[in-house]
Amino acid sequence: MSGTLDIQAQATERVGRRSGGREARRALRAAPLAEDIRPVRAGLEGGRYKPLDENDLSRIHEAVLTVLETVGFANAIPSCIEALTGAGASHDADGRIRFPRRLVLDTIRNAARNFTLCGQDPKHDMVIQGKRVHFGTAGAAVHLIDVEKREYRESLLQDIYDAARLVDGLDNIHFFQRPMVPRDIPDPLAMDFNTLYACLMGTSKHVGTSFTVRENVAPALEMLHAIAGGEANFRARPFVSNSNCFVVPPMKFAEDACGVLEACVAGGIPILLLSAGQAGATAPAAIAGAVVQAVAEVLAGLVYVNALKPGHPAIFGAWPFVSDLRTGAMSGGSAEQALLTAACAQMAQYYDLPGGSAAGMADSKLPDIQSGYEKGITNVMAGLSGLNLVYESAGMHASLLGFCLESLIIDNDMLGHCLRCVRGIAVTDAALSIDTIAEVCMSGPGHYLGNEQTLRLMQTEYFYPAVGDRLSPKEWNEKGKPDILMRAIAEKKRVLATRFPRHVPKSTDDRLRARFGDLIALPRATMGG
């Protein structure tokens, strides 16, 4: 094997001297690798970073149980009251639902865990267990950022489809939850249906979406069954999950969202139980208190889901946001946000529940230096904490108000760096390199360039950015002094002109268009057909 590698290296070096050594080495690095030996990939194990110690976790847990038992939830709809009281919760004279400790603990013990969030293409399946890390999009931004004009405009349905197409080809973004609201579709049913349609047609990765009211779930399920080839197929491999804000912090049920939750559970759709209080506004300003409230709210949702259908797949979506307490504005790129997200990941692991929370929600309005450090810090801390599903991790700006297609491309590189940090350092006999050091120092050339170990590990041990700049100043000058945003703009234009996914057959799309008539608002001409 080493002889073959030496011959390949010598051949590569000769070609490099004739036609540009750096370009030849880059071509070698660009060769595709099997999934299991890539330097970064979905599902790497995190968990090395722990902002809370064991005593902290226990104290938060006790506070959560106390809050659920003594404060409880207001505004439950009748069907929610029926389900929760049937499971053992109390509906008290003040109208609040309260949760006995034993009910909460029994629910945690029996809840679904170690399940798979499926893609339309099985190669994108994500096993959600332990401290396996996956990065994806999410959000409800109302603006798309035009970086060339440095302007914000209203987001459109076409923008959602375009974002899905980009994510479909970005290796370090593992799932696609709708990141924008189509402002050109005001009707709630048409908005929900077309948002899901655009996501499903744009990518074969797992899709997350939301619904405005219960009644909007039924036509979506009909579409999902058609794409899956039948209801049984979809239930066996649900490739869509519902992002469900069932709670209005602090500690109140959201009536419409609860109806949606019930319809999605009945339809076999996995649920992201999303609590999104804002510290200092709708959650305590104390970071520990914000964690307590978020965990309590999500566990109430977990009891609700399991009261409807024991063992239904649900994601522990403790997702507290941060306020800039000087102004009250959200601060998604703050250090406090990074701490909150990592702490919520630890609480999910404390209960051995699949966890999802948010990172990468830059306060910066453009993909600039501020965006880079805010996204990099919050995402790498989420990954190092072992959070299973990191939502909002790519493309988002202005604390969830703006979304940028070019940032998807830049952030894909950034997430590759984060994943490489999550993967950590392998310490094996071979990796300790005693024989390699001896060979190079005592009988070799005195350097490791061209060494068998170097050539063997250059692709599997090291991550290389796609649009990040590692040129020398001389090369950079010769290539016209490009920056990362220029590269991202060019790549976006290239992909959107050429990438038109065909994982949903045209015959299926024809049936959907015939069935739903004018409800589908995305013209086929804009989909490459």
pLDDT digits (tens, 9 = 90+) for 48-72: 999 999 999 999 999 999 999 999 9
pLDDT (0 to 100) of residue 21: 56
Burial class (CB in 10 A: 0-12, 13-18, 19+), 4: exposed
β-strands 271-275, 314-318: how paired?
parallel
Q: Is the pLDDT of residue 76 over 50?
A: yes
User: What is the pTM assigned to this prediction?
Assistant: 0.93
What pLDDT does residue 193 have?
98
pLDDT at 4 over 80: no
Taking residues 405-419, report their average pLDDT: 97
Question: Average pLDDT for residues 5-34, to the nearest whole number?
Answer: 52
Q: Over 70: is that where the pLDDT of 2 sits? A: no
pLDDT band at 398; cut points 50, 70, 90: very high
The pLDDT of residue 26 is above 70: no
* Between 110 and 459, residue with greater pLDDT: 110
Statement: residue 15 has pLDDT above 50: no
Of 77-81, 234-238, 320-324, 345-349, minimum mean pLDDT range: 320-324
In order of their start, the domains of the chain are 107-423 (3.20.20.480)
Other beta carbons within 10 Å of 365: 18
Q: How far apart are CA 302 and CA 315, in angstroms?
A: 9
Write out pLDDT tens, residues 379-391.
Answer: 999 999 999 999 9
Whether the Cβ atoms of residue 27 and residue 35 lie closer than 8 Å to each other: no
- Please name which of 258, 338, 247, 333 lies closest in space to residue 294, comparing C-alpha atoms: 247
| 8 A C-beta contact, residue 63 and residue 38 | no
Please give the pLDDT value at position 24.
58
Q: 3-state secondary structure string, 192-258? A: HHHHHHHHHHHCCCEEEECCCCHHHHHHHHHHHHHHHCCHHHHHHCCCEEEEECCEECCCEECHHHH
Q: Does the pLDDT at position 79 exceed 90?
A: yes
* Chain segment 113-158, per-residue pLDDT in tens: 999 999 999 999 999 999 999 999 999 999 999 999 999 999 999 9
Note the pLDDT of residue 1: 38
Mean pLDDT of 358-381: 97
Q: 397-408: string of b/e by CB count within 10 Å (b at 16+)?
A: bbbbbbbbbbbb
Contacts for 222 with CB less than 8 Å, ≥ 6 apart: 515
